[in-house]
Amino acid sequence: MQSVVFPNKILPYFLVLPQIILTVVFFFWPASQALYQSAMREDPFGLQSTFVGFANFSAIFSNGEYLHSLQVTVVFSVATALLSMGVALLLATAADLVVRGKGFYRTMMIIPYAVAPAVAGMLWLFMFNPAMGTLAYLLRRNGIAWDPVLDGNQAMALVVVAAAWKQISYNFLFFVAGLQAIPKSLLEAAAIDGARGARRFWTIIFPLLAPTTFFLLVVNTVYAFFDTFGIIHAVTHGGPAKATETLVYKVYNDGFVNLNLGSSAAQSVVLMVIVIALTAFQFRFVERRVHYG
Amino acid sequence: MARIELKDVRKVYGGGVDTIKGVSLDIADGEMIVLVGPSGCGKSTLLRMVAGLESITAGDIMIGDKLVNGLEPAERDIAMVFQNYALYPHMTVRQNLAYGLKNRNTPKEEIDRRITEAARALEIEPFLERKPRQLSGGQRQRVAMGRAIVRKPAAFLFDEPLSNLDAKLRVQMRVEIRRLQRSLATTSIYVTHDQMEAMTLADRLVVLNAGRIEQVGTPIELYEKPATTFVATFIGSPSMNLMKLGNGAGWTAANDAGLPANAVTIGIRPEDIAIAGSGVSGPMTAEVTVAAVELVGAESYVHGTTTDSQTIVFRVPGRSHIQIDEKMTLTADRRNFHLFDKDGQRI
């Protein structure tokens, strides 16, 4: 790679300044605030703060509710990532077989990605609301005791489906691109080598999609961890009985509803560490992904 | 081991694009057939139709006396070597070789035996545990060959397998493919646009032009008796000079009466022309002005212009001292002239 050298000493700094400002204002400042808050305890009236060191952290890690929320998050993330990626892969391989109206089909598939998380949540809430939901009515009429407002597992299933549904479009796009990147001659060679249908998919296509799949796994996990607040807020409010309270939802609930700022800040610091770890993981492995040819 | 027969095979793509306009060909067991022609002539399409990767619009393809029109590629008992090798990047060389056999439920010992055999023949034993990306172009080419060989198919299909290699390696691999094909005696169809490759590899050459066969024959037949002006210019390098007869043709002879009345074009190969007075002489002569001289090592090719403004290329052995704008007299033997009628057909 050829590096470009600017003769002017100040110009380069001006060029990166907007990015630096954005990062400082919207990341470093709030992040440092969170770090600072996580080591403080507010008095009940918010008049003064006392420095408590790591007490907030030891408090949350010895708190059963927090650990339960961690467990909920893991279940929610894994289920969302697997569901959205599985369905997207199925649709992408199906899209590969479509001959007529390919462009239209693909465009339609992408639309859900343009829907805001809260709106997506509301859509699913309306459909599955035990009191007025059309699909909830159908479920109950067919003998399924559908009540996500009372049943934690059903509530979890509902938010997982709503969160996955929104992400399918995104995954679909990447899988379609990944499938198109597989050289046609490889598939022809496999056809001559006598590999058909499922066998060809699992021995040739799926391994060649591995870089895409891995990339999406990380992206989807991050999405399920951090970007699903709107869906959970709209559908279940973390309930019933905290059955769908993920870490992000708990940060919001403890900080802005229960006004326990110190604990909330400590929790957001933990989340920050998780996202940094995930990103580092992604850079380390995805960047050195499989090379074709 | 099989005979391959094409009976009036046609390919029309959707939208009415006529790619193959009726090709009939009978390939004997163990024969090496080379399909050659300019790009877009349909040679790759024809090969892919034999492989089963393209559907057949009309006509029949038989492999080993079995009609294969409706069969899947895997059921046709053929192996194909692709231009870009098409090795599975996530598998080691050994897994690449084994894949086709595994899919056919070949016993493990048999797979191992065949891989060892093929690896030895192709000298790829040291690379068996490597991934394709760790190999050079030539090594990948060998692995691609190996993948075809281990299958022991009825026929090998080669789709320009050497065009991604550098010139030196290409010559080396060409010789090797020829040797392997001879020793295995497997019926082969080889597609190339390189006439040198075609000449050296083929038992019989098929020259294709715009979806039709121009001529079928041994390389020497095509070289010595091209059926059409297209074949005449396509086979041989540099290509044959084609010159218009009539109104003061470039070539004059003591006796023009020897030429048939319907001859419109005469062809003469650069190697069949000599400079008058250089020891070789023929009854036909032409006056030319030198336009350019190309030295290619052991010989030089001289581009000249005849008195009636037709261009002509001829060969002079060794390094030439011919200067541009020099005028000279060329001579050639009447027997080396190829005569074509107004439709470009040989007379």
Strands B32-36 and B187-192: parallel
Above 80 in pLDDT, residue B256? no
Chain-chain contact of A193 with B99 (C-beta, under 8 angstroms): yes
Chain-chain contact of A191 with B53 (C-beta, under 8 angstroms): yes
Instruction: Select the more confidently predicted residue: A109 or B10.
Output: B10
pLDDT in tens, B41-59: 889 999 999 998 988 988 8
- Lowest-pLDDT choice from B62-71, B128-137, B205-214, B279-288: B279-288
In contact, B118 and B150? CB cutoff 8 Å = yes
- Lowest-pLDDT choice from B38-52, B104-118, B126-140, B244-258: B244-258
pLDDT of residue B205: 93
Chain B nearest C-alpha distance from A244 (Å): 40
For B269, half-sphere exposure in the C-beta direction (CA atoms, 13 angstrom radius) is: 16
On whether any CB of chain A is under 8 Å from the CB of B143, the answer is no
Chain-chain contact of A191 with B78 (C-beta, under 8 angstroms): no
CA of B204: how far to CAs of A134, B102, B122, in Å? 73, 34, 25
Q: Which structural domains are found in chain A, ordered by start?
A: 63-286 (1.10.3720.10)
Peptide bond connecting B238 to the previous residue in cis, omega within 30 degrees of 0 = yes
For the whole model, what pTM was predicted?
0.78
**Residue B281 pLDDT class (50, 70, 90 cuts):** low
pLDDT of residue B113: 92
Q: Which residues of A touch B (CB under 8 A)?
A: 183, 185-186, 188-196, 199, 203-204, 207-208, 210, 290-293
**Residue B259 pLDDT class (50, 70, 90 cuts):** confident
- Rounded to whole angstroms, the Cα distance separating A290 from A268 reads 34
- Rounded to whole angstroms, the Cα distance separating B22 from B34 reads 18
Chain-chain contact of A203 with B83 (C-beta, under 8 angstroms): no
Above 90 in pLDDT, residue B189? yes
On whether any CB of chain A is under 8 Å from the CB of B113, the answer is no
In contact, A144 and A136? CB cutoff 8 Å = no
Q: Considering only CA atoms, which of B137, B59, B152, B50 is closest in space to residue B100?
A: B152
Task: Please spell the DSSP secondary structure of B212-244, one letter per residue.
Answer: EEEEEE-HHHHHHS-SBHHHHHHSSSSPPEEEE
pLDDT of residue B258: 64
Instruction: Select the more confidently predicted residue: B278 or B248.
Output: B278
Chain-chain contact of B86 with A185 (C-beta, under 8 angstroms): yes
Q: What residues contact B78, with CB distance under 8 A and at least 6 apart? A: A192, B50, B51, B52, B63, B153, B154, B155, B156, B157
Q: Find the CB nearest B84 among A185, A190, A290.
A: A185
Which residue ranges make up each domain of chain B?
A: 4-233, 239-340
Above 80 in pLDDT, residue B319? no
Count of beta carbons in the 10 Å neighbourhood of residue B344: 17
- Interface A–B counts its CB contacts (< 8 A) at 68
Task: Domain B4-233: state its class.
Answer: alpha beta
Residue type, position B246, single letter: G
pLDDT in tens, A229-263: 888 887 777 778 777 888 888 888 887 887 777 78
Q: Spell out the SS3 assignment of A134-200.
A: HHHHHHHHCCCCCCCCCCHHHHHHHHHHHHHHHHHHHHHHHHHHHHHHCCHHHHHHHHHCCCCHHHH
Q: Find the CB nearest A191 among B73, B84, B88.
A: B73
Mean of all residue pLDDT scores within chain B:
87
Chain-chain contact of B78 with A192 (C-beta, under 8 angstroms): yes
Residues of chain A with pLDDT under 70: 1-3, 286-293
pLDDT of residue B253: 59
Query: Tell me, which fold does domain B239-340 have in CATH?
Result: OB fold (Dihydrolipoamide Acetyltransferase, E2P) (2.40.50)
pLDDT of residue A83: 94
pLDDT of residue B260: 77
